Amino acid sequence: MIARPGRLVLLGHPVSHSLSPRFQNAALAAAGIPLRYEAVDVAPGSLDDVLRQLAVERAAGNVTVPHKERVAATCARLTPLARRVGAVNTFWHDDGALVGDNTDVGGFDHAVRALLGREPRDLTVALLGAGGSAAAVLAAAAGWPGARVLVVNRSAERAETLCARFSSVARPSDADAAVAAADLVVNATTVGLHDDAFPVDPARLPEGAAVFDLAYRPTETAWVRAARDRGHLAVDGLPMLVEQGALAFERWFGVPADRGVMWRAATDAITEATAG
Ligand code: NDP
């Protein structure tokens, strides 16, 4: 059991849009833990200085874009999962040492099981994207019996490099072939994050394919809504976000996170944002 953190932060750039403070503070209040979770905007050039200060403060927290890989490189210790993904989204200090973990993997895995309503088995996955979150998707899929993942990316070289790291499950593909073969289509690009662009035309989704968009927006993403309108099981990134946060909370405090409280806080924050 690690000592209780002296401070709890989210490091990113930008971070003001993040829902994490809302649902983490709700979970802290529900557990009676007298700490506040704060979003800290850290420009890339200041990250090393900020990490030194956080060590003094015995801080724990989360990491988001664009710092996940840099924090992984700075940690004194990584969990096997964080090492596998090459990125840290959750950290703490243990006896002065910076320890990094990756709960995006567990968050994604949990949300896929909830979407499908069963264990992911013998799935062909079309994975769109080859960045940090795509690596977390591949780390989860590597644990699914019989999975194969066809990776599609704008920059083909990046897809090839990522597939080489996960060669037991992944291989590069073109978009048409990957989507046509898929039981599950996962968007891990930033397409549709800020507008209503589709990463894949919903008309091209095979019958029965499920859709998982890592992006989330106040009224879900346009792609998720369009896929559901066509009869597909579809979910955006919110359940993954809340689960990765719950798993992080459990790493920091060693007690169960109240997922119901976290989910309500996240959806309340979204409702308020939608109301303007
Ligand atoms: P990265 O910056 O690491 O990767 C971005 C990916 O998007 C790359 O594959 C990039 O392709 C691709 N891309 C960007 N613009 C375009 C475009 N115009 N057309 C096609 N492809 C494009 O980001 P992350 O992996 O960290 O995040 C990806 C998404 O996942 C974001 O929307 C993020 O919000 C979401 N996310 C959600 C989480 C959750 O809990 N729900 C957790 C983590 C991430 P290329 O390599 O060619 O540049």
pLDDT for res 3: 81
What is the pLDDT at residue 1? 53
168, pLDDT greater than 80:
yes
The CA dihedral of 70, 74, 80, 82, to the nearest 10 degrees, is -20
Residue 216 CA, closest ligand 1 atom number: 41
Distances (CA, A) of 32 to 1, 26, 29, 183, 264: 18, 10, 5, 43, 17
Q: What are phi and psi of 235, to 5 degrees?
A: -145, 150
* Greater pLDDT, 270 or 201: 201
Residue holding tokens 């930008």? 14
pLDDT of residue 276: 63
Nearest alpha carbon, ligand 1 atom 46: 155
Mode of pairing for the β-strands spanning 170-172 and 124-128:
unpaired
Residue 140 has pLDDT above 70, yes or no: yes
- pLDDT-derived band at 195 (thresholds 50, 70, 90) equals very high
Q: Which of 190, 198, 201 most suits a substitution to test ligand 1, by most atoms within 8 Å of the C-beta? A: 190
Scanning the structure block, which residue is given the tokens 């802290």? 28
The pLDDT of residue 185: 99
Q: 67, 65, 34: which is closest to 51 by C-alpha?
A: 67
Any idea which of 88-97, 142-151, 264-273 has the lowest mean pLDDT? 264-273
Mean pLDDT for 11-31 is: 96
Three-state SS for 108-153 is HHHHHHHHHCCCCCCCEEEEECCCHHHHHHHHHHCCCCCCEEEEEC
Q: Which residues of 165-193 are buried (b: 16+ CB within 10 A; e: fewer)?
A: ebeebbebbebeebbeebbbbbbbbebbe
For the cut 90, the answer to whether the pLDDT of residue 273 exceeds it is no
Helices (H), the chain: 20-31, 47-56, 68-74, 80-85, 104-116, 132-141, 156-165, 175-181, 222-229, 238-253, 259-275
CA of 130 to the centre of ligand 1 (A): 8
* 231: Cα separation from own chain's centroid: 25
Tell which atom from ligand 1 comes closest to the C-alpha of 189.
7
Which residues are known to be catalytic?
Answer: 68
Ligand 1 pocket check for 188: Cβ under 6 Å: yes
pTM exceeding 0.85: yes
Take atom 4 of ligand 1 and give the residue whose Cα is closest: 131
Angle subtended by helix axes 104-116 and 238-253, to nearest 10: 130
Question: Which residues sit opposite 210 in a β-bridge?
Answer: 184
Q: What is the pLDDT of residues 84-118, one digit of tens each?
A: 999 999 999 999 999 999 999 999 999 999 999 99
Provide mean pLDDT across the span 27-43.
Answer: 98
pLDDT at 71 over 90: yes
Q: Which residue has the higher pLDDT, 13 or 217?
A: 13
Instruction: Pick left, alpha or beta for residue 141 (phi over 0 → left; psi -120 to 50 → alpha; otherwise beta).
Output: alpha
Q: Is 153 in the pocket of ligand 1 (CB under 6 A)?
A: yes
The atom of ligand 1 lying closest to the CA of 130 is: 9
- How sure is the predictor about 136, in pLDDT bands with cuts at 50, 70 and 90? very high
CA of 253 to the centre of ligand 1 (A): 30
| Rounded distance from Cα 187 to ligand 1 centre (Å) | 8
Edge-first strand listing for the sheet containing 90-94 = 37-41, 7-12, 59-63, 90-94, 97-101, 77-78
d(CA 251, CA 106) in angstroms, rounded, equals 12
56-to-5, 14, 32, 196, 265 alpha-carbon distances in Å: 11, 24, 24, 43, 31
The span from the CA of 57 to the CA of 36, in Å, is 14
Confidence of residue 249 (pLDDT cuts 50, 70, 90): very high
Average pLDDT, the chain: 96
